[in-house]
Amino acid sequence: MFPALIPLIPFISALLLMAGWKRFSRIGVTVTGCGSIGLAAVIAIIIAMQFSANGEQAIVQHAGNWLEAGGFKTGFDFRMDALSVVFVLVITIVGFLIHVYASGYMHDEPDYARFFACMNLFVGAMLTLVMADNLLLLYLGWEGVGLCSYLLIGFWYKDPANGYAARKAFIVTRVGDTAMAIALFMLFQYTGTLSIPGILENSTHVWSVNDGMITVIALLLLGGAVGKSAQLPLQIWLPDAMAGPTPVSALIHAATMVTAGVYLIARTHTLFELAPAAQTITAVIGAVTLILAGFSALVQTDIKRVLAYSTVSQIGYMFLALGCGAWSAAVFHFVTHAFFKALLFMAAGAIIVALHHEQDMFKMGGLKNRLRGVYWVFLIGCASLAAIPFVTAGFYSKDQIIWLSWSAAGGHVGLWLAALLGALLTGMYTFRMFFLVFYGEEKTKVHHQPGNSMMIPLYILAVLSTVAGFIELPHTMGHVTLFSNWLQPVLPAVSVLHESLAMEWTSQALSALLALSGIGLAYAWVVKHPKGMSDFLEMPAIMWLRGYWSRGWDFDELYNVLLVRPFVYLSRINRRDLIDTLYTGLGAFMEWCHNVLARTQSGLLRWYILSVVLGAVAILSVLIWRIYL
Amino acid sequence: MIVHPTTAGMLLAGVLFVLGLISILVRRDIIFMLLSVEIMLNAAGLAFVVASSHWGTADGQVMFIFILAMAAAEVSVGLALILQLYHQLKTLDSDEAAKMNG
Amino acid sequence: MMGTAFYIAAFIAILATVMVITRYNIMHALLYLVVSLLAVAVVLYLYGAPFMAALEVIVYAGAIMVLLIFFVMMLNLGKESAAQEKLWLKPRIWIFPSLLCIILLGELVFLVLQNHQPVSEVKMVNPKEVGIALFGPYIMAVELTGMLLMAGIVGAYHLGRQKEKTLHRFLENDQS
């Protein structure tokens, strides 16, 4: 089997759908769009099985030359190793489920083919990103993902707000992309290659630990990752990206796009190990982001925005893990997160469709008995997100991160406390959403039940969100290390400083307790004492805080003041284009000369004679001056 | 002070030429302009003859004859043109002929 | 003495030319020009070119001036033309052209005065020599002058002819 087929099939399908969207019937589009991803998933599974059976380090396929200039050569090299296999499997399987779901969700959409073309392209680009063997190909996928996010967030382009959200996503991630491109140039300059294994191998010869240059490069790479993964300075685009259709949100949040940053850092972990400062910054960014986003999620009214902020928060956990050096823990959390976040988004989409495209949670309620199936899968998703102990996948992955944020070599008590606070917040906002939607009195009538094509992917994901956790169990409970063993060839094991069973127990108990108390608080807040809570929430200071959080800590406003307004102001000053004035001035001068000279052609005979005389006087003057004076 | 004859003749020719030039510059009547051209041509012819006598060769006088012939042709064509102009525009004002911006 | 005769003739020539350029009446101007030409003919004679002097009198003063006089008489430009001329020739108009031409004259005089050769008599050039030169080395120029005169005749005939007024048939009825 050829690894190159995996990204190629979605690309071909996207091309077919784009070129012949008028010729395809609705069923044809569904079969092509979903089938291509399904086929890619099947191929991915076969290759993964071959791969695990062979015990090879990596399968690399050179699918063709791309650029060849002088000594520089780069090609379409696709690489399957332990890390990319994990990503490819998640992307294709979750992506396939989302596609199937989308065929039901977007059933009444007139631009059905365009939607599936973009979705396929999105998955193809993401697969290119995670399978690239050199950084240039990775960058191609990286930019392709950005482009597709633009196309899909602005899918309903007739509403200007959607176009605005799409542009915002594109431009904000572009800031990170630029940082990453610079990092690429620097890496090429210093290591002389763009091949990822080559860079990782050379880097240890070129740089020593804590070298200034490698720190800069690592920080630039981090900048790129932060942009795509919506972490602290560049997180503002993700909540607005909810403008796209719900399957797109699921795809962006679960399988593609936002996890690209996690992948990039995991892939270039050697560079980050050489730059402990950058690694620490990664951890701090992750910790701060997960708390800020947690608070923002707590006060949202739009169900999709809660999920968006929860994604930012969960990716914060992954960055925290990466920053602590717990590479496989981050990837593990990515896997479980992909399952339960896709599940949550698609369940939320089912609710939204059932309620006539109502997204405000305060207008929902009492859906427990109306949407039984959705209720159960949503509960499983929420439980996994809130990390309810023992039965959910989210518990095992998040718990590992929380424990390692203290015990790992790069860990710190502060990071650990932040992670614990995050656990409490996650429990609160998740179940606040859950109780608001499914309990209380019924405010909006359910108008139709989601069909099979939407429910079956949800059931599958619900199962995965539960069992995926059992492939990696902590020391205290069974000590299963299937996942980290799998990743061992690519990602080194975390170096644990504080090996203490008692402490680990304490940490786990604390995080479980905090998650459960978060749920309890949400229950008290939403179901038990809505009156008392609303009195508390109506207090002016609290109101102000709520507004502040719900606007995402006013980062948008901050960037407006710091960047957008000065830029607009400067461009207004330069409206006439200062540099261009030189050239327009030249043109104007010529035109002026033309006008002056044209006026001399008056047709007046005396004027002509006068010019002749003037010329004669001038020539004679020059002659006399030259010869006699 | 005895002035060199050539110098004196050349000065006379120069003065006559410049007088014709002033006239052509200030006049608007097209016949007067033609007249001024005649003055200037005549002055130029005079200069040629003076030069001829200075060198003692016939070339200057040959040139005078050519100028004479040219003046005759010019006057005949010029008068015909003026006649046409007068018929078309009913005036002899040269500025009126500026309509073509030629 | 050649000097005295020259100065008298030159004085008359300049004076008559000044009169030409200041007259309002075209007829007066033409007659002064004839005087000026005759004075120049005297100067030509004094410079040893009697044949040229004769040609000046016959062709310039005789033919060309008479042609101009007859032309003016044909157009019948009378007092109105003189009044118009007076209106056009305001004193202000003279200033700039005169200034310019005086500069030009100054330059010409300066150039002429660069001649520092010893004073010598004017040299006589016989009409015979002129004839030999004209039909010897200059024969081609003579032919060309003949062509020029021919063109002048044809041009004058063609341009001077009164064209019949031809109107488009749609406009004929409007002419009334």
Q: Between A and B, how many CB-CB pairs are < 8 A?
A: 28
A617: nearest CB among C103, C111, C114: C103
Q: Is residue B15 within 8 angstroms of chain C, CB to CB?
A: yes
Locate A272 and state its tokens: 């980050």
* Residue A386, pLDDT above cutoff 90: no
- Complex-level ipTM: 0.90
pLDDT at B85: 83
| pLDDT tens by residue, A464-520 | 888 877 877 777 776 777 777 777 777 777 777 766 777 778 888 888 888 888 888
Q: Would the CB atoms of C104 and A610 count as touching at under 8 Å?
A: no
Locate A380 and state its tokens: 């499983």
Nearest CA in chain A to C103: A617
pLDDT at A210: 79
pLDDT at C166: 65
| pLDDT tens by residue, A172-182 | 888 889 999 99
Q: Would the CB atoms of A603 and B101 count as touching at under 8 Å?
A: yes
Look up residue A512 and give its amino acid: A
Share of chain B above pLDDT 70, in %: 95
List the domain boundaries for chain B. 5-90
When pLDDT is cut at 50, 70 and 90, the band that residue B81 belongs to is confident
pLDDT at C53: 92
Selection from A29-43, A391-405, A602-616, C30-44 with the highest mean pLDDT: C30-44
Q: Which residues of B touch C40 (CB under 8 A)?
A: 16, 42, 46
- DSSP of A122-187: HHHHHHHHHHBSBHHHHHHHHHHHHHHHHHHHTSSTTSHHHHHHHHHHHHHHHHHHHHHHHHHHHH
Locate B53 and state its tokens: 């006598």
| pLDDT tens by residue, B20-67 | 999 998 888 888 899 999 999 999 999 999 999 888 888 999 999 999
Q: For tokens 């909540």, what's the residue?
A: A239
C112: nearest CB among B14, B22, B58: B14
What whole-number distance in Å separates Cα of residue A241 and Cα of residue A170? Answer: 10
Share of chain B above pLDDT 90, in %: 46
Locate C155 and state its tokens: 């041009």
Instruction: Tell me how far CA of residue A375 lies from CA of A201, A245, A347, in angstroms.
Output: 50, 21, 8
Q: Which residues of B touch C113 (CB under 8 A)?
A: 7
Asked if residues A289 and A445 have their Cβ atoms less than 8 Å apart, the reply is no
pLDDT at C165: 63
Locate C143 and state its tokens: 């032919």
Q: Would the CB atoms of C129 and B58 count as touching at under 8 Å?
A: yes
Q: For tokens 């909006």, what's the residue?
A: A444
| pLDDT tens by residue, A296-335 | 888 888 888 888 888 888 889 898 888 888 888 888 888 8
Touching A (3+ Cβ pairs <8 A), the chains are B, C
Q: Which residues pair with A81 in a beta bridge?
A: A58
Q: Would the CB atoms of A603 and B97 count as touching at under 8 Å?
A: yes
Locate A255 and state its tokens: 């399988």
Q: Where are the alpha helices (DSSP H) in A408-451?
A: 413-438
What whole-number distance in Å separates Cα of residue A482 and Cα of residue A328? Answer: 11
Which element (helix H / strand E) includes A65? Answer: strand A58-69
Q: Would the CB atoms of B79 and C68 count as touching at under 8 Å?
A: yes
pLDDT at A305: 86
pLDDT at B16: 94
Q: Which residues of A touch C110 (CB under 8 A)?
A: 624, 628
pLDDT at C176: 46
Asked if residues A469 and A393 have their Cβ atoms less than 8 Å apart, the reply is yes
Task: Give A553's DSSP letter.
Answer: T
Locate A471 and state its tokens: 């492939």
Instruction: Tell me how far CA of residue A198 lies from CA of A131, A186, A190, A192, A455, in angstroms.
Output: 15, 14, 12, 9, 45
Q: Which residue has the higher pLDDT, B49 or A73?
A: B49
pLDDT at B38: 92
Average pLDDT, chain A: 84
pLDDT at B45: 94
Per-residue pLDDT of chain C (176 residues; tens, 9 = 90+): 468 889 999 999 999 999 998 888 888 999 999 999 999 999 999 988 899 999 999 998 888 898 898 988 888 777 777 888 888 888 888 888 889 889 999 988 888 888 677 777 778 888 898 999 999 899 999 999 999 999 999 988 888 777 666 666 666 665 54
Look up residue B26 and give its amino acid: V
- C-contacting residues in B 25-54 (Cβ below 8 Å): 25-29, 31-32, 34-36, 38-39, 42, 45-46, 49-50, 52-54
* Residue whose C-alpha is closest to residue A236's, from A175, A302, A280, A177: A175
Q: Which residues of B touch A610 (CB under 8 A)?
A: 25
Q: Which residue has the higher pLDDT, A443 or C7?
A: C7
C97: nearest CB among B22, B38, B73: B22
Which element (helix H / strand E) includes A66? Answer: strand A58-69
What whole-number distance in Å separates Cα of residue A79 and Cα of residue A66? Answer: 16
| pLDDT tens by residue, A534-590 | 777 777 777 777 777 777 777 778 888 888 888 888 888 887 777 888 888 899 999
| pLDDT tens by residue, A509-542 | 888 888 888 888 888 877 777 776 677 777 777 7
What whole-number distance in Å separates Cα of residue A453 and Cα of residue C166? Answer: 92
What whole-number distance in Å separates Cα of residue C145 and Cα of residue A112? Answer: 92
Mean pLDDT, residues A395-423? 84
A267 by Cβ neighbours in 10 Å (0-12 / 13-18 / 19+) ranks as buried
What whole-number distance in Å separates Cα of residue A428 and Cα of residue A522? Answer: 5
Q: Would the CB atoms of A613 and B21 count as touching at under 8 Å?
A: yes
What whole-number distance in Å separates Cα of residue A408 and Cα of residue A251? Answer: 32
pLDDT at C174: 56
pLDDT at C1: 47
- DSSP of chain C: -HHHHHHHHHHHHHHHHHHHHH-SSHHHHHHHHHHHHHHHHHHHHHTT-HHHHHHIIIIIIIIIHHHHHHHHHHHT--HHHHHHHHHH--HHHHHHHHHHHHHHHHHHHHHHTT--PPP-PPPP--HHHHHHHHHTTTHHHHHHHHHHHHHHHHHHHHHHSPPPP---HHHHTT--
* Residue whose C-alpha is closest to residue A425's, from A550, A318, A517: A517
CATH for the C1-113 domain, from 3.40.50.720, 3.30.930.10, 3.40.50.1100, 1.20.120.1200: 1.20.120.1200
List the domain boundaries for chain C. 1-113, 126-160
Q: Which residue has the higher pLDDT, A408 or A38?
A: A38
Q: Would the CB atoms of B95 and A606 count as touching at under 8 Å?
A: yes
pLDDT at C173: 60
Q: Which residue has the higher pLDDT, A204 or C41?
A: C41
Mean pLDDT, residues A81-86? 85
Residues 6+ away with beta carbon under 8 Å from A176 = A223, A224, A225, A226, A227, A228, A234, A261
Q: Which residues of C touch A614 (CB under 8 A)?
A: 100
Q: Which residue has the higher pLDDT, A80 or A440?
A: A80
Architecture in CATH for domain B5-90: Orthogonal Bundle (1.10)
C141: nearest CB among B50, B66, B68: B66
* Residue A98, pLDDT above cutoff 80: yes
Q: Looking at the complex, report in whole angstroms how far the Cα of residue A627 sits from the nearest Cα belonging to chain C.
A: 10
* Residue B102, pLDDT above cutoff 60: no
* Residue whose C-alpha is closest to residue A332's, from A416, A262, A227, A230: A262
pLDDT at A171: 87
Q: SS3 of A57, please?
A: coil
Mean pLDDT, residues A212-225? 88
Torsion angles phi and psi, residue A366, rounded to 5: 65, 25
Mean pLDDT, residues A123-144? 89
